[in-house]
């Protein structure tokens, strides 16, 4: 930073912002409280810019990236910091907005904070759509459980076949109850489930349409060459990670996704525990789900062959190597006593390495598979 730079850290909430302002050479920050609206934010930074260079930061949270865009529009460099990586003192038991702003600006000037990647507005919009679809998926699962439990409580159990097959749906819609209140509860639950399913189908169509447009068409095609990854999974990976090039090594991406084991080592003692789960939950779930098909023998089925058709030869080759390597790895882990869920998590971590290699490829080969 330039000499004489003023550092500003914002502790934001819905209605107000506490700004910690640390001028060059000042041992303690100035703390200001202002309403959380663009007018007051603009006045604060215009006043500070008249004094000299200004840089700002705040922790990711309730304001999302809107506050970042307001500040950068004023030609003030701004960073959004990862709250989980902010250093904290175990002995401090008092937490207020003013204390947080003062502590944050000191750490900002000392370069002790970790900035996160801020997506562009179109990227964030697609990410919100994909996350909305994930919310609807959870709603579908909840309404299915509620409807089945309602039927179970009144002795209505589907006699044969699998749940949610065509026969099961026909059986559910044929159910009738003598008590009007119970029939109303059943009809309302069934209607809510059908509405959630219809909403999920509409969102799937919209996401698939977006996946066919730039800049998603090419990377989605590459990712769909991998076993266990189709259009929706590929879109989740792309909108959540955004730029695979910002990770210099695959292990950095594995750590970002929380797929590396935790560790508590000291001296000669080394203890490794469960996964850190400290990263992006959406991508981690998708990768663990995609890891399960690798327990089967490597094969190029009709659907996977269709997805791989026309894709670069080196991408298809990498996906095939992933099938061979990850299947052997899964068999080895399970054969040595690892439980299948633990083995699947390990496979998801190694799958990240293959995906990183494909998504950071520098040049396209002349031939296509």
What is the mean pLDDT for each group of 10 consecutive residues in the chain (369 residues)? Answer: 83 92 91 94 95 94 90 96 87 86 94 92 96 96 97 93 94 96 97 97 97 95 97 96 92 92 80 83 95 96 94 96 97 96 95 96 48
Domain 6-109 CATH assignment equals 3.30.420.110: yes
Helix 231-241 with 281-291: angle, nearest 10 deg: 150
Strands (E), 215-367: 261-263, 272-275
Check residue 221 and give its pLDDT: 96
For residue 117, give the H/E element and its range: none
Report CA-CA distances (Å) from 264 to 124, 192, 253, 256, 273. Answer: 36, 47, 21, 19, 8
Check residue 62 and give its pLDDT: 79
User: 215: cis peptide before it, omega within 30°?
Assistant: yes
Check residue 200 and give its pLDDT: 97
Q: Residue written as tokens 């800049």? A: 215
Check residue 317 and give its pLDDT: 96
Strands (E), the chain: 6-12, 16-22, 30-35, 54-59, 78-81, 261-263, 272-275
Check residue 364 and give its pLDDT: 45
Q: What are the boundaries of each domain within the chain?
A: 6-109, 122-211, 217-359
Angle at 295 between CA 294 and CA 298, to 5 degrees: 55
Specify the DSSP class assigned to residue 50. Answer: T
Task: Please provide the DSSP assignment of 209-222 as one string.
Answer: HHHTSTTTHHHHHH
What's the whole-model pTM score?
0.88
Rounded distance, CA 247 to CA 256, Å?
Answer: 9
Check residue 367 and give its pLDDT: 41
Rg (CA), the chain: 26
Q: Residue 236 CB: number of other CB atoms within 10 A? A: 24
């Amino acid at each position: 930073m330039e000499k004489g730079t003023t550092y500003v850290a914002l502790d934001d909430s819905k209605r107000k912002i506490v700004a910690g302002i640390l001028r060059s050479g000042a041992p303690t920050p100035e703390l200001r409280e202002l309403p959380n609206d663009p007018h007051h934010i603009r006045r604060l930074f215009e006043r500070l810019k008249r004094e000299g260079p200004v840089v700002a930061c705040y922790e990711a949270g309730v304001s999302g990236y809107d506050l970042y865009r307001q500040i950068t529009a004023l030609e003030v460099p701004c960073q959004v910091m990862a709250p989980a990586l902010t250093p904290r003192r175990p002995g401090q038991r008092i937490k207020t907005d003013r204390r947080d702003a003062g502590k944050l600006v000191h750490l900002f000037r000392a370069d002790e904070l970790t900035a996160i990647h801020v997506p562009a507005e179109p990227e964030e919009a697609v990410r919100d759509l994909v996350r909305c679809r994930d919310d609807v998926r959870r709603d579908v699962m909840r309404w299915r459980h509620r409807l089945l439990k309602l039927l179970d409580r009144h002795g209505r159990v589907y006699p044969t076949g699998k749940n949610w097959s065509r026969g099961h749906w026909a059986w559910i819609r044929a159910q009738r109850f003598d008590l009007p209140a119970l029939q109303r509860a059943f009809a309302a639950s069934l209607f809510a489930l059908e509405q959630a399913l219809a909403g999920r189908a509409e969102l799937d169509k919209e996401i698939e349409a977006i996946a066919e447009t730039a800049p998603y068409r090419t990377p989605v095609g590459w990712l769909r060459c991998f076993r266990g990854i189709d259009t929706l999974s590929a879109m989740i990976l792309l909108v959540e990670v955004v730029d695979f090039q910002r990770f210099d090594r695959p292990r950095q991406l594995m750590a970002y996704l929380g797929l590396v084991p935790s560790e508590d080592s000291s001296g000669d003692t080394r203890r490794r525990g469960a996964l850190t789960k400290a990263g992006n939950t959406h991508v981690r779930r998708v990768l663990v789900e995609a890891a399960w098909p690798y327990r089967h023998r490597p094969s190029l089925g009709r659907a996977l062959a269709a997805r791989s058709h026309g894709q670069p030869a080196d991408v298809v080759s990498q996906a095939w190597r992933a099938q061979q390597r990850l299947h052997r790895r899964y068999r080895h882990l399970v054969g040595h006593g690892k439980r299948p869920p633990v083995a699947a998590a390990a496979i998801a971590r190694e799958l990240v390495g293959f995906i990183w290699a494909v998504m950071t490829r520098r040049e396209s080969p002349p031939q296509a598979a």
